[in-house]
Amino acid sequence: MTEIVLIRHAETDLAGKFCGHSDPDLNAAGLHRLRSIMEEVAPLGITRIYSSDLRRASRTATTISERIGAPVEFRSGFREIHFGRWEGLTWDQVQRSYPTEAELWVRDFPARSAPEGEAYRDFTARVEAEFRRVIAQHKNTPLAVVTHSGVMQCALTRFFGFTRDEARKETENYGAIVVVTPQDLREIDSMGIRA
């Protein structure tokens, strides 16, 4: 297996807010960053792109696809976690509107989800299943996954040996690009892939 390039989508107007299954398009800063993302990934030899089907990721992926000539496939399994009633809110707004739930969420995360949101265990199971399918299909093909920070953090910690802090730091910027290689890949028993 060769490199997997994990790419966080470019910026939207919901930057700084809970944005899980909300579906904003890229803003002006995101479109500007998208030009440099294309140039950064162009020399990486990517032959296949997978992407979240949400607009901010799909537009990022489509633009990269057009630049490098690699096909792109959209998969809902690469969506960010759903934040339920907190979608579109800042943390300050959450704390004001949902003080008890916010306190419990901070205390009990990842065991507690946002009100009417996706359970973290369901999110990680979804993301893991999607990555397993993609990795199994493309053991010897350089590919990219255009997705969201939470999805990238899940993959980096569960499959590629990153600590939570390392994964958070690598994915904190819109348009973040993280290249992982076979020696980074942890054993995935059900697929028989070993680092």
Q: What's the mean per-residue pLDDT of the chain?
A: 91
CB atoms within 10 A of CB 110: 12
Residue 178 one-letter amino acid: V
DSSP string, 52-111: -SSHHHHHHHHHHHHHHT--EEE-GGGPPPP-GGGTT--HHHHHHHSHHHHHHHHHHTTS
Q: For the beta carbon of residue 69, count every other beta carbon within 10 angstroms.
A: 9
Is the CB of residue 180 less than 8 Å from the CB of residue 3? yes
Which residue, of 96, 117, 138, is where some domain finishes?
A: 117
Structural domain count, the chain: 2
69: Cβ contacts below 8 Å, ≥ 6 apart: none
What are phi and psi for residue 193, nearest 5 degrees? -95, 130
In a shared domain, residues 19 and 42: yes
User: Is pTM, for the whole model, over 0.85?
Assistant: yes
Which whole number is the average pLDDT over 37-41? 96
Residue that terminates a domain, selected from 100, 117, 134: 117
The answer to whether residue 185 scores a pLDDT higher than 60 is no
Same-domain status, 31 and 122: yes
Residue 165: pLDDT above 90?
Answer: yes
Residues 67 and 134 in one domain: yes
Read off the CATH number of the domain in which 20 is found: 3.40.50.1240
| 37 and 97 both lie in a single domain | no
Do residues 10 and 68 share a domain?
A: yes
In tens, the pLDDT along 106-159 reads 999 899 999 999 999 999 999 999 998 988 887 778 899 999 999 999 999 998
**Residue range of the domain that includes 134:** 4-82+118-191
pLDDT tens column, 41-77: 999 999 999 999 999 999 999 999 999 999 999 999 9
Same domain for 75 and 141? yes
